[in-house]
């Protein structure tokens, strides 16, 4: 049964720091009007990287954050900057490469296998190299694969996802991308999606309300109300139903609120 969340049509304004990948996916444009209609909350998004989003939260510049970097989130809570962490949804990273797939990623059964195949065949790989969440994730995967990515085959471009995909397209190289950026990418050329689905590639988004004990001005009541909406059946339907080029981008996985 769908939970009723439309309780307060005059709730007010609230600031939420979100990551660029979430914003660029287009999901925000779907959710924000529905949140306002259901709760009366007008959300003002501050679109930044995960690290900056958490810094905004720690400084009390926003009322809550929606980010995807588990270790940093845990640290944020441990330091008392946020009241708690609530998982909302995940999307995934995918491995893209030349359709001819010389490293045979499509035959790999894990992301680790796929990356080792790229490294041992020294097939060209384009890395964002920009210290973004996606770049950090890529480095963590290389680390898990016990490979130090270096050499002529590993091109670090120090640029955003679109530029990295463009470089890979021009070179016929492999690249890791979030699925939304790949689907939105218009210059696919000879590239194809070659590997996806390993749970290590999942990208968990969590909602962290800023601690009002540190910053009395934060709108904790609205943050709680937004959390209720983000974890509701209404949100589940909208998040799971959001598609790009016929593909679902996010999977809702918010657990029900614990009953005291």
Partner 1 sequence: MVSALFPLQAIGATVRRKDKTLIGPVDLALGAEGITIVVGPNGAGKTSLLKMLHGIVRLSDGQVTWACTTPEAQARQAFVFQTPVMLRRSVLENLTYPLRLAGMPKAQAIAQAKDWATRIGMAEATSRSALVLSGGERQKLALARALIRAPDVLFLDEPCASLDGRAMREIEALLVQANQEGTRIIMSTHDMGQARRLATEVVFILQGRIHEFGPAKEFFASPDTAETSAFLKGDIVD
Interface residues with partner 1 (CB under 8 A) are: 98, 100, 102-104, 113, 116, 119-123, 145-148, 151, 170-172, 190
CB atoms within 10 A of CB 61: 15
Q: CB 103 → partner 1: shortest distance, Å?
A: 8
Measured from the CB atom, the residue of 129 and 189 that comes closer to partner 1 is 189
In angstroms, what is the minimal distance from the CB of 114 to partner 1?
11
Instruction: Tell me the longest C-alpha to C-alpha distance in the chain.
Output: 60
Q: Which is nearer to partner 1, 104 or 136 (CB)?
A: 104
User: What minimum distance in Å lies between the beta carbon of 159 and partner 1?
Assistant: 17
Q: Which residue has the tokens 């937004």?
A: 226
Contacts of 218 (CB under 8 A, 6+ apart): 60, 62, 63, 209, 210, 211, 212
In angstroms, give the least distance from the CB of 108 to partner 1.
9
The candidate with the shortest Cα–Cα distance to 250, out of 203, 194, 199, 181, is 203
Q: 245: burial class by Cβ within 10 Å (0-12, 13-18, 19+)?
A: exposed
Query: What tokens were used for 136?
Result: 């950090």
Q: Give the whole-angstrom CA distance, residue 58 versus residue 217.
A: 13
Reduce the DSSP state of residue 43 to 3 states and report it.
strand
| Nearer CB in complex with partner 1: 6/151 | 151
In the complex, minimum distance from the CB of residue 185 to partner 1, in angstroms, rounded to a whole number = 18
Min dist CB 199 to partner 1, Å, is: 20
Nearer to partner 1, 138 or 178 (CB): 138
Phi, psi of 239 (to 5 degrees): -65, -50
**83 vs 167, beta carbon nearer partner 1:** 167
| DSSP, res 25 | T
Contact 50, 20 (CB under 8 A): no
Nearest distance in Å: CB 163, partner 1: 16
3 state SS of 15:
strand
Of 104 and 215, which CB lies nearer to partner 1 in the complex structure? 104
Q: Are residues 16 and 222 in contact, defined by beta-carbon separation less than 8 angstroms? A: no
- In 3D space, the residue among 209, 192, 196 whose CA is nearest the CA of residue 249 turns out to be 196
Q: Looking at beta carbons only, is 58 or 193 nearer to partner 1?
A: 193
């Amino acid at each position: 049964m769908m939970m009723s969340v439309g309780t307060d049509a005059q709730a007010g304004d609230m600031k939420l720091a979100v990551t660029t990948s979430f914003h660029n996916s287009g999901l925000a444009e779907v959710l924000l009007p529905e949140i306002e209609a259901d709760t009366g909350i007008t959300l003002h998004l501050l679109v930044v990287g995960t690290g900056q989003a958490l810094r905004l939260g720690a400084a009390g510049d926003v009322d809550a954050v929606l980010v995807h970097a588990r270790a940093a989130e845990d640290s944020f809570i441990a330091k008392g900057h946020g009241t708690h962490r609530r998982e909302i949804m995940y999307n995934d990273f995918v491995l893209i490469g030349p359709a001819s797939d010389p490293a045979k990623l499509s035959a790999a059964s894990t992301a680790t296998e796929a990356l080792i195949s790229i490294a041992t065949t020294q097939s060209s790989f384009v890395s964002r190299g920009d210290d973004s969440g996606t770049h950090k994730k890529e480095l963590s995967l290389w680390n898990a694969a016990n490979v130090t990515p270096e050499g002529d085959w590993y091109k670090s471009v120090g640029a955003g996802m679109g530029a990295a995909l463009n470089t890979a397209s021009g070179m016929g190289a492999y690249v890791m991308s979030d699925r939304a950026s790949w689907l939105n990418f218009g210059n696919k050329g000879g590239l194809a999606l070659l590997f996806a689905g390993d749970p290590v590639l999942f990208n968990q988004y969590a909602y962290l309300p800023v601690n009002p004990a540190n910053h009395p001005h934060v709108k904790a009541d609205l943050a709680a109300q937004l959390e209720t909406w983000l974890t509701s059946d209404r949100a589940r339907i909208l998040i799971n139903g959001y598609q790009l080029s016929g593909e679902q981008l996010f999977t809702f996985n918010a657990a029900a609120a614990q009953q005291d």
